[in-house]
Structure 1
Amino acid sequence: MLKKTEQTYSLKKTDKATLKQWYTLMTVGRLIDLRAPNYLKQAIGWSYHAPYAGHDAIQLAIGQVFTLNEDHLFPYYRDMLTALSAGCTAEELILNGISKATDLASGGRHMSNHFAKPEWNIHNVSSCTGNHTLHAVGVARAMKKYDHKGVAISSQGESSVSEGYCYEAINGASREKLPVVFVFQDNGYGISVPKEVQCANEFVADNFTGLKNLRIIHCDGKDVFDSMNAMKAARQHALENSEPVIVHAECVRMGSHSNSDKHELYRDEKEREEAIAKDPYAAFRKLLIKEKIFTDKELTEIDDESKKTVLEAHSAAMKAPNPDPASIYDFVLPPAHTCEKFPEGTHEHNGEPVKFIDALNGTLKEEFRANPDTFIWGQDMANKDKGGIFNVSKGMQQEFGEERVFNAPIAEDYIMGTANGFSRFDKKIRVVVEGAEFADYFWPAMEQFVESTHDYWRSNGAFAPNVLVRLASGGYIGGGLYHSQNVEASLAPLPGVRIVSPSFADDAAGLIRTAMRSEGMTLFLEPKALYNAKQAMTPIPEDFEVPFGKCRVRREGSDITILTYGNTTHHCLEAAERIANEEGKSVEVVDLRSLSPLDEEGIIKSVSKTNRCLVVHEDKVFAGFGGELVALINEKCFESLDAPVKRVGSEFTPVGFNRILEKAVLPNTDKVVAALKEILAY
């Protein structure tokens, strides 16, 4: 509990004007909260509504303590009064509820009850409950790095703390000593599941008592003054000590979880009546009258004025435009960097050949020198003389310091989620992360990765995570499970992320440079078997750039096209040479480089010229990325084809560890040659 010296707020210490403001906010909020289900009944909107009644005091306090131009606020879907108290207007709340085009949070793209005001740093958060805790930690890390006075405030229900990324966030914030206030609004239920199913402790905050550098404050989330004191003390402690604070607020849920839930099915009448009897809003009103701060008549006048405010907000919101169906294509990806000097991503430079790994390392360093607001972190990638499991980041911490180049815990969600949050602090920031030591280990980060891919679209263009995710991908190293798999087929269906996979050192340098200069998120798949491979070495011109969505013809041909990328590009070039010698046929090898966006024009041009096509990639043939390429060719080039399109890739099994098993699974030059002969003979 709070110490006596920290009791800043009380009825006697708070002036009448402030009490009137608080009561007005609570009244307007409650009126909208009660009104929201009517929009659904009238088919106007608000098809998802999680009523906040019973959380009034703590939500008022969160919003009042939030400091504009200093703090970042991450409200959750029940935080209607939090948003109102922090500065959103009644009209803005209703615009969000009925999903209008002028909704500040998302323009109708995100679920109702997800309130935001981006220009005030009141952030649009996901429906994936509690995941914004990582974003709050990330932005707090940026605040600390840039010596910014402010805190990140993350709000959520107590049951969402069961999510693993919440533990990662709080553990990470305590380890890094970051100014974050985590608010747990404890109403006793996770939808219909009572909290004792979520946690052995009565209060979930007690799960974190063993963490160093963390303060825990318990308060009555139904009491305005206790909540105000708790939030003020939390913010002050986080600011003064640069440490995280948990505020555990005991609330009550007066209604159902949401409009799709019926709490009568799991709460008996007595419990429901007891919940209503604990109404914080009604209690505050009674207190103001009892202590003769206001008369009933004065509060009724405020009630009437609040009703007028809500009706005016309703009228204005109803006149607002609906989203334009054509706008669905807006804000899928932010603008990419324009490669003016190398618009096709090709060159005729004749210099000393550079290794693939040195191209990556050198370009990273060049971009870090050019942009002081560039950062990189990941697991095991900056410890003394070691620079990552493959030494791609070797020497970077020595040159740029631990503030910009540092290790992360073995927590892929934390690595990815804090990158999202860190980039929220300023648009000029660029973050590079090793998303996992190997691409196969990236799956724990998928929740945050998916979240980041739709941030730009979901926020209606207000925020794009400027994050480059590097992953060492593919096999041919004898790595077996978790060290040799491919992931592009699983990730390419996600709009909102660029996916590239170079085959040569020059493209590796050019693509990573373009990615680091672009807005938005890029997934950079590095075929690790090529890091030191002689066949991947090339000269690289100074400041070389490769635009997204531009393939590269690595070998001209006239009889058949091979579409490929990554490791298998080299198998295809070897196969093309053998076919030329053995069959006298001319094979065109097209290195896609960029999988999303895809160079449809370049693919169509090549296939239309040769009239035959073979698709080769390292991933499995079944459900692999090649299926998308075949579909494209059938739709756009069918009239040009003289033979069916064929695919070569991995067998439909995991990649084995024993080299004999690995060879049996993965594609190779012999398999490509056999497929070429089959198509050419058709």
Structure 2
Amino acid sequence: MAQAQKVLAPEAHTPPVLADWEKVAYLLHVSRQMDEVEETRLVPEKQVLYQFSARGHDMAQILLGSRLTHRHDAICGYYRSRPVLLAIGVPLEEALAGPLAREGGYSGGRDIGVVFNYPNLNGPSALPMCGGVGAQYTPATGWAQAIEYRRTVLGEAEYEGAIAVVLGGEASVATNGFWSALTIATTQKLPVLFYIEDNGFGISVRSHLQTPGGNIAANLASFGGLTILDGDGTDPEEAARLTQEAVTFVREQRAPMLLRLRVPRLCGHSAQDTQGYKSESEIAEEKSRDPLPRLRDYLVPGHMAEEGWDEIEQRASLDVAAALERALARPQPDPKTLTRHVFSEAGEHGIQSVQTKGGLAAEGITLPKGSATVQPSGPRINMAAAIRRTLDHELSVNPRMVLFGEDVGPKGGVHSVSQGLQAKYGEARVFDTSLSEEGIIGRAVGMALAGLMPVPEIQFRKYADPAVEQLNDCGTLRWRTRNRFAAPIVVRMPGGFFKCGDPWHSQTNEVQFVHAIGWRVAVPSNAEDAVGLLRASLRGNDPVIFFEHRAMLDHGWARRPWPGDDYVLPFGKAKTVREGRDITVVTWGAMVERCEQAADMVAKESGRSVEVIDLRTLSPWDSEAVVASVRRTHRCLVVHEDNGTAGFGAEILAVVGRECFLDLDAPLERLTMPDIPSPHNPILLEAAVPSAEQIAAKIDDMVRF
């Protein structure tokens, strides 16, 4: 691993570099005009509801964007990144229509206007930005890793020289995402540029509270594998030289670099921020470093005449005014389309069915649809072996699939599900990661945006908590970009009790992901269903949470014969595992076996007939099958391992209550864990998790009602 270089002094660099200064001056005036018209007109008129000026940051960003010319370059910015977008070619009208929340634009009014995205098919793209500070870093490293994968593993020469660039302010360097991305980029030696715009303030919090001494470049001087540049982002010559050096280094060395540029924030954090926390002398000092007059002084009269500067300013003003009128003429978004693009859709009624960027579908790659017909062969195998064999087969037919997480490599996973796969497919396709769930999921999002099929593993359900921001952002990505981007990933997530329990490894809480927007959720109870649902996930076009219950991975009841290499089980299709006439029991995961045991007990003791439905997937869930069953049996009990309050059983019974109200002969009931974490002692665990005896007793009470 290359050792970090010391912070380079500006005078040690190569001679000054020439830039397209007319373009820089024009775009700087454009950016200023946009900020001004928003601040003085559109915000007071309440036509722009969220406004974040880039004044002070703008010139340096434009110099950066002008250097991004590779068609597979990508930037991942934040809410003050409009100037760099202008520099990579975002049309002026679109840059104004987004903040106006008009039809078209970045999101068609679905997201705040400063959260940009730009799926450029013929040049650098802007990956979907996030509203959370620091959330941009790990997806950018994922894009960089995908660049290297496509260049080296897939042999796609067109990716030679492409890089990822991630922008962030000095406050963002305190986030989990920043440090996770640094670890990924340096340990993997990825072509990513960390571009830090240090204005000294995170809203009102001064930079010395974000990082010791207020200088992240100095603090990272000995960070292994990271080269660092540090300089003045308001000095045209210095900023241009450092930017060129940084971009060239990352392209040629295929290695990460951090460039910190000091810039003033010549405005509040947002239009609502009065900057009362700054003294008059601080504001005056910032104004003295305004890059606009510094650029004029640098260019006039050496590079252009004063008349030339004035002409550029006038042209920018006219262009912004014309673009604004076009943006204002756009219609308001149509509320009838509001629920479109939560998930991938079939093309109908003129709807764009395939996203512009992200996943295999955007590049015209289709995998075999498979068959819903089971073709059993061989002996019964456990769920762990079934999942492993499915992953093995899909890796063999899809060269863009990658499998990764903590301990999935030589160890084969803490549950042995990925055992032997790294030896077979190599470290580029099956690899271990650092211990950062934020990094695991964020990296997967970036890789999916770049056209791969990432399969990250979260070692236990509870460990997903540090990645919740990335998971939520991934799920909403298609909707908030109006299907311009999507990130189909399959997150394998073991959880639930196993012999014993505890609050850290045995959590289920699958309802959290059902409630999250844009996620499909599978909870198989047996090996056959695990194969079909996992293959459907890996060949689909949506993000999926694939829940692997720890108790069922090697359970004898869950064993089934191999259902075939082509077996695909569609989401949203429940299975009636036991037919009955007296009551419907709805369940999933490890509770299916216990409900079947309870049904046997009830049949033996009283001759009552119990219908047991295994939902198999919770998003979507098969409400039609459940409603049809309850209309026959006139009773419904939902059994699940998760806590009762706000558990998914409440959603099921709400639908059943509405659709089957006149058919019911007994109150709707749930049997769940109490509202406590999973206890560790096996005796306490059995008292908490619904047992077959408890289920049978509840069935008996309901039938006798």
Q: Same fold (TM over 0.5)?
A: yes
Tell me if 1:139 matches 2:143. yes
Give the match for residue 221 of structure 1.
233
- Given the superposition, is the C-alpha separation of residues 340 and 123 from structure 1 closer, same or farther in structure 2, using an over 3 Å criterion? closer
Instruction: Find 1:520's aligned residue among 524, 542, 545.
Output: 542
Q: Using a 3 Å threshold, how does the CA distance of structure 1 residues 170 and 676 change in structure 2: closer, same or farther?
A: same
Q: Which residue of structure 2 aligns with residue 544 of structure 1?
A: 567
Please name the residue that 1:615 is paired with.
638
TM-score if structure 2 supplies the norm length?
0.92
Query: Of the candidates 185, 201, 207, which is equivalent to residue 173 of structure 1?
Result: 185
Task: Tell me the distance in 2 between the aligned counterparts of 1:665 and 1:596.
Answer: 26
The 5 A counterparts of 1:164-563 are: 164-263=176-275, 265-289=276-300, 291-335=301-345, 342=371, 347=374, 349=376, 352-383=379-410, 386-426=411-451, 429-435=452-458, 437-542=459-564, 543-563=566-586
Unaligned runs of 5+ in 2: 1-7, 152-158, 347-365
1:62 aligns with 2:72: no
> Which whole-Å CA distance do the structure 2 matches of 1:171 and 1:485 have between them?
28
CA distance in 1, matches of 2:271, 2:660: 50
Equivalent residue, structure 2, for 1:116? 117
C-alpha distance in 2 between matches for 1:340 and 1:590: 26
Kept in 1: contact 2:531–2:563 (CA 8 A) = no
Whether the 8 Å CA contact 1:378–1:415 is kept in 2: the answer is yes
Whether the aligned pair in 1 keeps the contact of 2:62 and 2:84 (CA below 8 Å) is: yes
CA contact 1:177–1:244 (8 Å) conserved in 2: yes
Given the alignment of the two structures, is residue 9 of structure 1 paired with residue 16 of structure 2, yes or no? yes
- 1:341: Cα distance to partner? 6.1
Aligned length, in residue pairs: 667
What is residue 605 of structure 1 aligned with on the other side? Answer: 628
- Amino acid in the other structure paired with 2:424: E
Q: Which moved more, 1:513-522 or 1:298-307?
A: 298-307
1:408, CA displacement in angstroms?
Answer: 0.6
Amino acid paired to 2:286: A
Q: Which amino acid in the other structure matches residue 543 of structure 2?
A: M
* Residue 678 of structure 2, aligned match among 646, 655, 667: 655
Per the alignment, do residues 587 and 419 of structure 1 end up closer, same or farther by CA in structure 2, a change over 3 Å counting? same
Aligned to 1:30: 32
Residue type at the aligned position of 2:178: C
Partner of 2:358: none
CA contact (8 A) 1:335 1:518 kept: no
Q: Deviations over 1:376-403 (max 9, x none)?
A: 00001111xx210011111111111111
1:352 to partner: Cα distance: 3.1
Aligned Cα RMSD in Å? 1.8
**Secondary structure in 2 matching 1:46:** coil
8 Å Cα contact 2:30-2:317 kept in structure 1: yes
Residues of 2 paired with 1:353 and 1:42: CA distance? 69
Deviation at 1:6, TM superposition (A): 4.0
| Alpha carbons of structure 1 residues 341 and 5: separation in structure 2 relative to 1, 3 Å | closer
- 1:192 is displaced (CA, Å) by 1.0
SS in 1 for 2:667: coil
1:299 partner letter: W
Question: Deviations for 1:489-512, whole angstroms, at most 9, x for unmatched residues?
Answer: 222211100011011111000000
Partners of 1:611 and 1:2 in 2: CA distance: 79
- In the TM superposition, residue 643 of structure 1 has moved relative to its aligned partner by 0.4
Alignment correspondent of 1:643: 666
Give the deviation of 1:202 after TM superposition. 2.9
Quick one: which amino acid aligns to residue 75 of structure 1?
G
Query: 2:43 and 2:142 mapped to 1: Cα distance?
Result: 40
> What amino acid is the match of 1:273?
A
Which secondary structure does the structure 1 equivalent of 2:386 belong to? helix
Q: How far, CA to CA, are the matches of 1:55 and 1:41 in structure 2? A: 21
Tell me the alpha carbon deviations over residues 73-92 of structure 1, each in whole angstroms, 9 at most, x when there is no partner: 11211112111112112212
| 1:121 partner amino acid | S
Matches within 5 A, 1:42-81: 43=45, 45-81=47-83
Q: Does structure 2 conserve the Cα–Cα contact (< 8 Å) formed by 1:563 and 1:592?
A: yes
Distance in 2 separating the partners of 1:350 and 1:648:
36
The residue that corresponds to 1:150 in the other structure is 162
Q: Say which is worse superposed, 117-126 or 369-378, in terms of deviation.
A: 117-126
3-state SS of the aligned residue for 2:381?
coil
Is 1:62–1:86's contact at 8 Å kept on the other side of the alignment?
Answer: no
Q: What are the superposed Cα offsets for residues 344-379 of structure 1, whole Å, 9 maximum, x if unpaired?
A: x56485763221111111111111111111100000
What is the rounded CA distance, in whole Å, between the counterparts of 1:25 and 1:484 in structure 2? 55
Q: Distance in 2 between matches of 1:338 and 1:199?
A: 47
Alpha-carbon separation, structure 1, partners of 2:682 and 2:693? 16
SS at match of 1:146: helix
One-letter code of the match for 1:498?
Answer: R
**Closer/same/farther in 2, CA of residues 5 and 271 from structure 1, 3 Å limit:** closer
Query: Aligned to 1:418, what secondary structure does the other structure show?
Result: helix
Residues 314 and 583 of structure 1, relative CA distance in 2, 3 Å threshold: same
Partner AA of 2:50 in structure 1: Y
Deviation string, structure 1 residues 127-173 (Cα, Å, up to 9, x no partner): 10121110110010111112222110000111111111211111221
Q: Which amino acid aligns with 2:685?
A: E
- The separation in 2 between residues aligned to 1:451 and 1:206, in whole angstroms, is 32
Q: CA deviation at 1:663?
A: 1.1
Q: CA deviation at 1:433?
A: 1.0
Corresponding residue of 2:697 = 674
Letter paired with 2:420: G
Q: How far apart are the structure 1 equivalents of 2:287 and 2:259?
A: 24
Distance 1:48 1:236 in 2: 35
The 3-state SS of whatever aligns with 2:165 is strand
Q: Tell me if the contact between 2:572 and 2:621 (Cα under 8 Å) persists in the aligned partners.
A: yes
Distance in 2 separating the partners of 1:79 and 1:350? 56
Cα pair 1:62 1:82 within 8 Å, conserved: yes
Q: Which moved more, 1:361-370 or 1:509-518?
A: 361-370
Are the aligned partners of 2:142 and 2:447 in contact in 1 as well (CA < 8 Å)? yes
Say which SS state the counterpart of residue 222 (structure 2) adopts: coil
Q: Distance in 2 between matches of 1:91 and 1:207?
A: 41
1:539 Cα deviation after fit: 2.5
Aligned residue identity for 1:467: I
| Deviations, residues 315-360 of structure 1 (Å, cap 9, x unaligned) | 1111122211111111101249999665xx5648576322111111
**Pairwise CA distance, 1:217:** 0.3
Work out whether residues 134 and 176 of structure 2, in 8 Å CA contact, stay in contact via their aligned partners in 1: no
> Percent of aligned positions with the same letter in both sequences?
31
Range moving further from structure 2, 202-211 or 649-658: 202-211
With normalisation by structure 1, the TM-score equals 0.95
Structure-2 separation of matches of 1:44 and 1:295: 39
Read off the aligned partner of 2:391 and give its amino acid letter.
L
